[in-house]
Amino acid sequence: MTPLPRAARPLAGFCAFLRNFGFAVSADQIATFLAATTLLGPRSMDDIRRAGHAVLAPPPERIDEFDALFRAWFHGEVEAMPAGDDAGEETVAKDDRGDRFQPPEASELNESGEASTRDEVLASRSFEAPDDLHLRRFRREAPRALPRRRSFRRQASTSGRWIDMRRTMRAAVRNEGDVAAFARARHKRRQRNILILIDVSGSMKTHTEDYLRLAHAVTRAADRVETFTFGTRLTRISRAMRLKDRERALFEASRVVEDWDGGTRIGEALNAFLAIPRFAGYARGSLVIVLSDGLERGGHDEMVDAVRRLARRAWKMAWLTPLAADPRFRPETAGLKAILPLIDELGDGGSVAAICDVILSASRDEGSGGNARERAAG
């Protein structure tokens, strides 16, 4: 087999790079991509990028992700890992379609569930699916209580501020050109997207099952919900949560997630989420619920930076920790103190009932726009 010319190797390597992220790239497309690049000259890197758009045909909803991967491959635009004891380790970002980055494995276990660690543990979990009165109440109240936003689309309304010209003209045709009254319209309202981020590290192991059952109930009740778990890895489990049968959904989630009860890398996991355009887009204008005790090992600067960036994208961000179940709770760790001005709520994540109340009550603050003053100051 004739080897590729040296100049063509980065182009072929980029196609393989795209495949690692779930893009469908055939051998014929690779050959056509090389030919198109040759035909264009190319005079600039932008010519190569446009050739990729035309030939490799990324889906419209993944154009931004394609461009980000193009910059990462050809320009080296990737986020640097912080220097320190853990330099060189990477946090995995794994989609439930199987796309992932592979980090080094750790050697120590965190079996107690009482302390946080950064060490990675690859483990599996099995879950039961008991019924829950609070989740049944949530499913009943969610359709009318979940926060909503104004849509760009309009609907008929007797007191709307807009004139509905189409309905007005139809009425005029029926009345032989006589316009008795203008039909009115107003903007539709639709449910806000919800993003749930679940800490599955060892210090949260006693709450993991409740959180997954809650995520499944929210997914079944709301229009669009995205769910991720994080510990030493970031894993998207939205597909599993969309399964109608809860027992099957929990089983699929237990199969997809690999870092149950391991270490804690909150900052790195959130930055991995934000580094993938398709994932980061889920947070824009959404109600973001983080279920974590916030016990970050080592420095907390990376966690604070990630929370600031995530909060700027979100409509409202609530950090719910089981530590807040105690009425005497006050944020004492440096990490929780630092993120307090950045989030809209630091609340009780110790029970399903408390979390349901936070989600259902979020619509009360719909007009406030969240912690806008603090975010602008950050």
33 and 164 assigned to the same domain: no
3-state secondary structure of 261: coil
173 and 200 assigned to the same domain: no
**Angle ∠(193,283,59) on CA atoms, nearest 5:** 90
Q: Is the peptide bond preceding residue 59 cis, with omega within 30 degrees of 0?
A: no
Structure tokens at 77: 């635009």
Position 368 scores a pLDDT of: 46
Position 96 scores a pLDDT of: 64
Beta-carbon contacts of 107 under 8 Å, excluding residues fewer than 6 positions away, are 119
3-state secondary structure of 349: coil
Structure tokens at 80: 């640097």
Residue 29 lies in a domain: yes
Using CA atoms, how far apart are residues 73 and 11, in angstroms rounded to an integer? Answer: 10
129, 163, 190 - which closes a domain: 190
Residue 280 lies in a domain: yes
Using CA atoms, how far apart are residues 242 and 247, in angstroms rounded to an integer? Answer: 12
Predicted confidence (pLDDT) per residue in 297-336, tens digit? 767 899 999 999 999 999 999 999 999 988 888 888 888 9
26 and 100 assigned to the same domain: no
Residue 86 lies in a domain: no
The residue among 227, 239, 247 whose CA lies nearest residue 290 is: 227
CB crowding 144-168: b at 16 or more within 10 Å, else e: ebbbeeeeeeeeeeeeeeeebeeeb
CA distances from 313 to 196, 197, 316 (A): 14, 15, 9
257 and 113 assigned to the same domain: yes
CB 80 within 8 A of CB 172: no
Using CA atoms, how far apart are residues 347 and 370, in angstroms rounded to an integer? Answer: 15
Handedness of CA 256, 260, 262, 267 (dihedral sign): positive
12 and 69 assigned to the same domain: yes
Residue with tokens 């619920």: 289
CB 182 within 8 A of CB 163: yes
Residue 168 lies in a domain: yes
Residue 80 lies in a domain: no
Calculate the CA 338 to chain-centre distance: 22
Domain tally, the chain: 3
56 and 205 assigned to the same domain: no
Residue 84 lies in a domain: no
Residue with tokens 């530590």: 323
Regions in the chain scoring below 70 on pLDDT: 1-2, 76-92, 94-131, 151-155, 160-161, 186-187, 298, 364-378
183 and 302 assigned to the same domain: no
**DSSP H helical ranges for 175-233:** 208-221
Q: What element of type H or E holds 253?
A: helix 246-256
Position 83 scores a pLDDT of: 35
21 and 104 assigned to the same domain: no
Using CA atoms, how far apart are residues 153 and 193, in angstroms rounded to an integer? Answer: 17
259 and 316 assigned to the same domain: yes
Position 1 scores a pLDDT of: 52
Position 127 scores a pLDDT of: 47
296 and 185 assigned to the same domain: no
CB 260 within 8 A of CB 205: yes
183 and 199 assigned to the same domain: no
Using CA atoms, how far apart are residues 353 and 344, in angstroms rounded to an integer? Answer: 20
Residue 146 lies in a domain: no
Position 364 scores a pLDDT of: 67
Q: What is the CATH number of the domain that holds 279?
A: 3.40.50.410
Residue 20 lies in a domain: yes
Range of 66's domain? Answer: 6-74
